[in-house]
Amino acid sequence: MGHREIYSNPPLALTVVELRHTASPPLSEADKAGLKSLLASTFPIYKPAQQVSITVTNAGASEDRAVFPRYMTRDFTESISFRDNAIVVETTRYKRRSALRELLHQAVEARQKVSPVDGVERLGIRYVNEVRVPDLEHATDWQRWISAPLTSIAGLHTDDVAAQTWQGVTVFGTAAAGVVLRHGNFEGYAVEPGGDLRRQTPPLGPFYLLDLDSYWVPEGGVPQLNWASIEDRFNAVGLSAYELFQQLITDDYRTEVLKREQ
């Protein structure tokens, strides 16, 4: 697959893998204990999480809360969650794609050993990047660091006032495979430091969001959920996001920020 550079100062704030599968009954207490036993060497902390769904109808809005098992590392930077319709791996200390792949492998093997599910419906890897650069003074300064197709709007004016903030969503690919890009210039954080997953917290200030959700959806049926059918798909999904990210940043950002020693 070729060499993929590992940068010394990456902008990743959060990486999430969601392996969506066919619906299953809620896990029993025995199932949760079995998962904890299998994951304990890497994810010894049991910390249930909550998923909130809001349904809006003509009669008004209703809220449904579901609690699902989540297992975390001792430093609270990585977690594995098991929902009724998905296996979710999250990390705030992404190292490389192979390490993330191994975490997903561990999660899939544990789930299928304790309470197997029938098939795969979607695989997604989301990379939330907070691009931060030194001495940023004006919105137009992003043109030095972020590629022109995303920042060209900064050159527009109304009543001699330049654009100050902008956001956008672009879909690359098809319903079966592609990358959804959300981007824009913001203040503060895309991933709040006070969440359950801990992260290295940069100084509060401006950042450019590059939020890439790379995905694959099986066509023509629902394949079995086993690692052999997932591994190659995982690699392809991850590479799609990497290749797009390289097009979204400039050489100045690559050499002056990403490769800067911390």
Is residue 87 within 8 Å of 111, Cβ to Cβ? yes
pTM: 0.91
What token pair was written down for 111? Answer: 């789930």
pLDDT, residue 45, reads 97
pLDDT, residue 162, reads 77
Q: How far apart are CA 162 and CA 183, in angstroms?
A: 19
Among 12, 244, 260, which Cα is nearest to 130's?
12
Per-residue pLDDT tens, the chain, 262 aa: give them. 444 666 777 899 999 999 999 999 999 999 999 999 999 999 999 999 887 656 666 666 656 678 899 999 999 999 999 999 999 999 999 989 999 999 999 999 999 999 999 999 999 999 999 999 988 888 889 999 999 999 998 777 787 777 889 999 999 999 999 999 999 999 999 999 888 999 988 888 999 999 999 999 999 889 999 898 899 999 999 999 999 999 999 999 999 998 754 4
pLDDT, residue 1, reads 42
Residue that has been written with the tokens 């992260």 in this structure: 199
pLDDT, residue 99, reads 94
Q: How far apart are CA 245 and CA 16, in angstroms?
A: 16
Q: How many CB atoms lie within 10 A of CB 238?
A: 22
**Which segments of the chain are extended strands (E)?**
12-21, 45-46, 49-57, 60-68, 70-72, 78-82, 86-91, 120-131, 157-158, 161-162, 167-173, 177-187, 206-216
pLDDT, residue 176, reads 95
Q: What is the DSSP string of 117-179?
A: --BEEEEEEEEEEEE--TT--SGGGGGGTB-HHHHGGGG-EETTEE----EEEEEEE-SSEEE
What token pair was written down for 226? Answer: 């086993």
The pair phi, psi for residue 209, each rounded to 5°, is -85, 125
pLDDT, residue 140, reads 84
Helix axes 29-39, 97-114, angle to 10 degrees: 140
pLDDT, residue 79, reads 97
Q: Are strands 49-57 and 86-91 parallel, antiparallel or unpaired?
A: unpaired
